[in-house]
Copies of this chain bind each other. A is one copy, B any other.
């Protein structure tokens, strides 16, 4: 479990944001700064069931190593949970990540 990036990132409109919090917040956004990873999160988010890595290659049009790399990045960022079932790994959204991402990105009230 790697919850670090999730645990200490803070909303963009937080009253004070120190350097460590800025790094953690940027890391969370960085995990979503690639179109392939955006599409993986979208495919997992729109599935009722955990999604097998093997179901991602074709719709994404990406190689197995590339998909594996993206999945590892998303798990490391705390956005996806990984569950091994026999030969294949299955992925689902982490509830706390979903809430944290929405909170971090929320600038309403700060502006404009």
Contacts and interface: CB of A to CB of B under 8 A. Distances in A.
Q: How large is the interface on A (under 10, 10 to 19, 20 to 34, 35 or more residues)?
A: 35 or more
Oligomer copy total: 2
A23 interface: yes
A39 interface: yes
Task: Name the residue among A32, A35, A38 with the largest chain B CB count within 10 angstroms.
Answer: A38
A1 interface: no
B45 A107 contact: yes
Given A98-B108, A101-B107, A111-B93, A22 B35 contact: yes
B17 A42 contact: yes
Interface string A27-45: 1011011111111011001
Interface of A: 12-15, 17, 19, 22-23, 25-27, 29-30, 32-39, 41-42, 45-46, 92-95, 98-99, 101-102, 104-108, 110-112
13 contacts: A12-B41, A14-B42, A17-B38, A19-B35, A22-B38, A22-B42, A25-B35, A26-B32, A26-B37, A26-B38, A30-B30, A94-B112, A105-B105
